[in-house]
Amino acid sequence: MPANSKYATERGWFLFFSILLIGVSLIRTCGSPINVRSGLATAPSPDYQRRFCDNRQTADYGDQNLDKITIPLHDGCYGDRIIIPKAWRSWQVQLSSNVGDYLSVWCVEEPNPRRTVPYNGDPNGITSDCPPNHIVEFSTEGKGTFTLIRTQTDPNAVAEAEKKEAEIAQKNLEATYKLTPVEPSAGDHTGFSITVDQCFRADENIHCKGIVTNITDARTMLELRGGKIVDDEGNTILLSEWYYAGDPTNSQQERGEDLLPNVPANFLFIIHDPHQNVRTINIEMNTTWYARYVESTLVFSGVPVQ
């Protein structure tokens, strides 16, 4: 081989390996692209730690249908376990935009945290496919805030969420009502004590709760057989819905209950009274006490409606 040709070949190989080494060096310096779903979190802050907070709790929004959820971020550990509303089909992710803010998400059932998003980065896609897909759960670490904004919903899940939200709201409202026990002012209740403890409005109905106790030494049935109420506006309304244990959703309940000696039993009755300004009611409660088979009408006067 001529010397010039041999020299040219060697020079070509030298240039090829030089370019290859430069390329490898650049890749090692700049790093490879990080996959959104499984990329490991980097350390954007000197306080960042790959650990969960000691006081970590669960923020369960699963049965709610909020417009948005804003989560304060904690630097130094992954905070509360967040459960996204089941009614949400899709959502938009937004970060606070202060310089130095960042977000790292760690999905439940994944071995590593996902990529870190700086304050000016694109956070989309880092939560929407957390496994399992039907219940999205994750924890977050970072600085600033992390907001999820609902964009699409599942109609069936929305209806269920609204029902549960209404139930929770009603229970919270009931918890604010005071107990105002009223004993019978007339009627025979020999062998048992009974009080109407609380009446409160629920839309066009009035719900009343009370307690009855068998004060004999034998198990005996007390049957609540309806009656009527007269409110402070002079309206008379028949009573027909009575439930022991205070749960009107239980179709197995009856108006009669075997009462154990000295064991209180809760009862509930519902009055359809759409008059919103009613403040007190008078109750006539028809009862049958099977110990002596006594039928009696108990009268409760001036029962407050909250």
CA neighbours within 13 Å on the CB side: how many for 171? 8
Task: Decide if 83 is inside a domain.
Answer: yes
Task: Decide if 26 is inside a domain.
Answer: no
In this structure, the answer to whether residues 227 and 149 fall within a common structural domain is no
Task: Decide if 126 is inside a domain.
Answer: yes
Kindly state the average pLDDT of the residues 96-105.
Answer: 90
In this structure, the answer to whether residues 117 and 211 fall within a common structural domain is no
In this structure, the answer to whether residues 233 and 132 fall within a common structural domain is no
In this structure, the answer to whether residues 151 and 198 fall within a common structural domain is no
* pLDDT for the residue 33: 34
Q: Please say which residue of 107, 134, 155 terminates a domain.
A: 155
The answer to whether residue 31 scores a pLDDT higher than 50 is no
The answer to whether residue 265 scores a pLDDT higher than 70 is yes
In this structure, the answer to whether residues 298 and 196 fall within a common structural domain is yes
Q: Please say which residue of 137, 155, 173 terminates a domain.
A: 155
Task: Decide if 107 is inside a domain.
Answer: yes
Q: Which residue has the tokens 């870190």?
A: 116
Per the prediction, the chain carries an average pLDDT of: 82
Higher pLDDT, 109 or 173: 109
In this structure, the answer to whether residues 138 and 208 fall within a common structural domain is no
Looking up residue 249, the CATH number of its domain turns out to be: 2.60.40.3480
Which of 35-44, 244-253, 278-287 ranks highest by mean pLDDT? 278-287
Task: Decide if 172 is inside a domain.
Answer: no
The answer to whether residue 127 scores a pLDDT higher than 50 is yes
Containing structural domain, residue 272 = 192-304
Q: Please say which residue of 128, 155, 182 terminates a domain.
A: 155
Q: Which residues contact 209 (CB under 8 A, 6 or more apart)?
A: 196, 197, 198, 199, 246, 266, 267, 268
Task: Decide if 87 is inside a domain.
Answer: yes
How confident is residue 134, by pLDDT bands cut at 50, 70 and 90? Answer: low
* pLDDT for the residue 68: 95
The answer to whether residue 181 scores a pLDDT higher than 50 is yes
In this structure, the answer to whether residues 201 and 279 fall within a common structural domain is yes
In this structure, the answer to whether residues 99 and 151 fall within a common structural domain is yes
Kindly state the average pLDDT of the residues 159-183.
Answer: 82
In this structure, the answer to whether residues 144 and 198 fall within a common structural domain is no
Task: Decide if 41 is inside a domain.
Answer: no
The answer to whether residue 27 scores a pLDDT higher than 50 is no
The answer to whether residue 128 scores a pLDDT higher than 50 is yes
In this structure, the answer to whether residues 140 and 224 fall within a common structural domain is no
Task: Decide if 222 is inside a domain.
Answer: yes
Instruction: State pLDDT tens for residues 138-158.
Output: 999 999 998 999 999 888 888
In this structure, the answer to whether residues 150 and 68 fall within a common structural domain is yes
Q: How many domains does the chain have?
A: 2
In this structure, the answer to whether residues 142 and 235 fall within a common structural domain is no
The answer to whether residue 40 scores a pLDDT higher than 60 is no
